[in-house]
A and B are shown apart, each in its own frame.
Chain A
């Protein structure tokens, strides 16, 4: 398939969807507070864009901080796990428990316990985001080529040399894969936490703007905020994919051009 089709095909689907949506809203005469058409949403996005964008930045700041913390701490935890099997088997179940407990359920507690709102939101988002990085990186650190491990042993490598020169590079694609998943999760975590936290002090994130618009029946604004949020999610995924490609393009299978 030609490269232009790759771009064109989803675009065509999108346009058909938007046209159909607009048509249904007009033909059925659906009131704007139930379902606004895409044109109204676009107009609202244009009008309220600046104000909504400010809120988006608040949410993105939490997302970015949570993702960075997840990358650093998740990576370090994975290295500790790889260095000590005992540590891994004692702590991994608790990491799983943290992961499977719905963030909506623990967010209120965190917001009560942590006074600083930014920190509370950060903690919520981090809790959601760190697990894929820990799990993936641990897997990567343990999946270095066995023959290479033997080779390192044969040539007298110390444990740290094996970690630095063999296990860490071998884990890099896994880590980056985890990071890509965590990027979206950090955004979800931040949004959920904002929902639970309410106003969140002086600065209000996009999630709260969505709640607020819902309460006030400003449905077009709610949609506009949603659109911004999804674009932000897509952008995060895209940026992290790009980072992954840039880092791995010289050597990893995942970054090779595909033959059709």
Chain B
């Protein structure tokens, strides 16, 4: 089955067609990926460890060149930074304060510190870290560091925000809180988000679409719309429809795993 997977109706912000990746050591990480990410959508890439989700995200980011196939990012005329990336680890510069870490991408874009000031303050406020602008990463908890990492991406006003299992290393409570905060930011900022995770529950709670990948070589096994209304709050996790969606996604994942 090689149909084109569209993550939702509407124009694609990013399109991958026939994308595959073979590493230099011969490992085939991805094969035959056709994917369209619609503007404004929240897409989760779900799959077992080692299925190439992170590689796919890096191809989407333009950090890794696909071995075959094409990546196409819609030209938009928007002046702001086009792609933001949040890594699995907070990936902060330990020698720089919170504000300076958030300033980094703006600085690299040639913005002066004075110009960037309001944007940095806005980003810090958006992730709820008021009062920590002058703190160093080692003075922050794991969850707070992750917030800084998100604020750094936020400050660039990206059209496309990519997150690579950003909350995997955090405790459950922090993780749920950050999920909700991320959803809120996504809705207010008008981002398009691609979110890599290996948690069925997380993907269903967050996404407008869940793209299930099969084990290596990673292929798209299913593309499931999650038609739960936004805003989604904690209570959603208790509802039957949420449970139904989780089951559907789980079954798709199990089917993908079972495929030879």
For the complex, count residues of A whose C-beta is within 8 A of B.
22
Other-chain residue from A153, A172, A250 in contact with B136 (beta carbon distance below 8 A): A250
Residues in A with CB closer than 8 Å to B125 are none
- Expressed in whole angstroms, the Cα–Cα distance for A161 and B105 within the complex equals 11
A114-153 vs B: 1/0 string, CB under 8 Å?
0000000000000000000000000000000101101111
- Establish whether residues A151 and B85, one from each chain, have CB atoms under 8 Å apart when the complex forms: yes
Instruction: Give the chain B neighbours of A252 by CB distance below 8 A.
Output: 94-95
Cα A151 to Cα B81 in complex, Å, equals: 13
Docked-complex contact A169 and B95, CB < 8 angstroms: yes
Query: Cβ of A109 < 8 Å from any Cβ of B?
Result: no
Which residues of chain A have C-beta atoms less than 8 A from B85's C-beta?
Answer: 150-151, 154
Q: Which residues of B contact A169 (CB under 8 A)?
A: 93, 95-96
Question: Interface code B120-135, partner A: CB below 8 Å = 1, 0 otherwise?
Answer: 0000000000000000
Task: Give Cα distance in the complex from A151 to B87, angstroms.
Answer: 9
Query: Is B63 touching A153 in the complex (CB atoms < 8 A)?
Result: yes
On whether the beta carbons of B156 and A155 are closer than 8 Å, the reply is yes
Q: Which of B61, B89, B138 contacts A251 (CB 8 A)?
A: B138
Docked CA distance A128–B13 (Å): 59
> Is B104 engaged at the interface, CB distance under 8 Å to the other chain?
yes
Determine the residue in chain A with the shortest Cβ distance to B81. Answer: A155
Q: Give how many B residues have a beta carbon under 8 Å from the other chain's beta carbons.
A: 22
Tell yes or no: A166 within 8 A of B by CB.
Answer: yes
The verdict on B83 contacting chain A, using a C-beta distance below 8 Å, is yes
- Whether, in the assembled complex, B174 has its beta carbon less than 8 Å from a beta carbon of chain A, the answer is no
A249 → B minimal CB distance (Å): 10
Q: Is the CB of B91 within 8 A of A148?
A: yes
CA gap between A253 and B87 in the complex, in Å? 22
Q: Which residues of B contact A253 (CB under 8 A)?
A: 138
- Which residues of the other chain, B, contact A256 by a CB distance below 8 angstroms? 138
* Interface flag for A156 (CB, 8 Å): yes
Please, which residue of chain B has its CB at the minimum distance from the CB of A148?
B91
Contact check: which of B89, B93, B108 meets A155 at CB < 8 Å? Answer: B108
Please, how many angstroms separate the alpha-carbon atoms of A253 and B94 in the complex? 10
Indicate the member of A152, A153, A154 with the most B CB atoms within 10 Å: A154
Please, which residue of chain A has its CB at the minimum distance from the CB of B90? A147
**Is A165 among interface residues, defined by CB-CB distance under 8 A?**
yes
Contacts of B96 in A (CB 8 A): 169, 251
Q: How many A-B residue pairs have CB under 8 A?
A: 52
- Asked if B66 is at the interface (CB within 8 A of a chain A CB), the reply is no
| Residues 40-98 of B contacting A (Cβ, < 8 Å) | 61-63, 81, 83, 85, 87, 89, 91, 93-96
Contact of B61 among A154, A156, A161, A170 (CB under 8 A): A154
A252 to chain B: closest residue by CB = B94
B143, CB-defined interface residue at 8 Å: no
Which residue of the partner chain A has the closest CB to B138?
A251
Closest to B164 in A: A147
Q: Which residues of A contact B156 (CB under 8 A)?
A: 155
Minimal beta-carbon separation of B234 from chain A (angstroms)? 31
Which residues 148-178 in A have Cβ within 8 Å of B in the complex?
Answer: 148, 150-157, 161, 165-166, 169-170, 172
| In the bound complex, CA of A256 to CA of B107 (Å) | 29
User: Hey, which chain B residues are within 8 Å of A150, CB to CB?
Assistant: 63, 85, 87
Q: Establish whether residues A251 and B109, one from each chain, have CB atoms under 8 Å apart when the complex forms.
A: no
Distance between Cα atoms of A214 and B134 in the complex (Å) = 59
Q: Taking A161-B108, A251-B136, A251-B137 as contacts, is the C-beta distance between A147 and B87 under 8 angstroms?
A: yes
B residues within 8 A CB of A172? Answer: 95
A145 CA / B137 CA spacing, docked (Å): 14
Given contacts A156-B109, A157-B108, contact A166 B87 (CB under 8 A): no
The smallest beta-carbon distance between A127 and chain B, in angstroms, is 32
Residues of B with C-beta under 8 A to A155: 81, 104-105, 108-109, 156
A172 to B95, CA, bound (A): 10
The answer for the CA separation of A253 and B91 in the assembled complex, in Å, is 16
Contact A151 B91 (CB under 8 A): yes
Partner of B93, one of A153, A157, A161, A166: A166
What's the Cα separation between A145 and B104 when bound, in Å? 15
| A156-B109, A251-B136 known, 11 other contacts, Cβ within 8 Å | A145-B91, A147-B87, A147-B91, A151-B87, A151-B104, A154-B83, A155-B81, A156-B108, A169-B95, A170-B95, A250-B95
Task: Supply 7 A–B pairs (Cβ within 8 Å), ascending by A.
Answer: A150-B87, A152-B108, A154-B83, A155-B104, A250-B95, A251-B96, A251-B138
A-B pairs, 4 with minimum CB distance: A147-B91, A155-B105, A155-B108, A169-B95
- Chain A interfacial positions (CB closer than 8 Å to B): 145, 147-148, 150-157, 161, 165-166, 169-170, 172, 250-253, 256
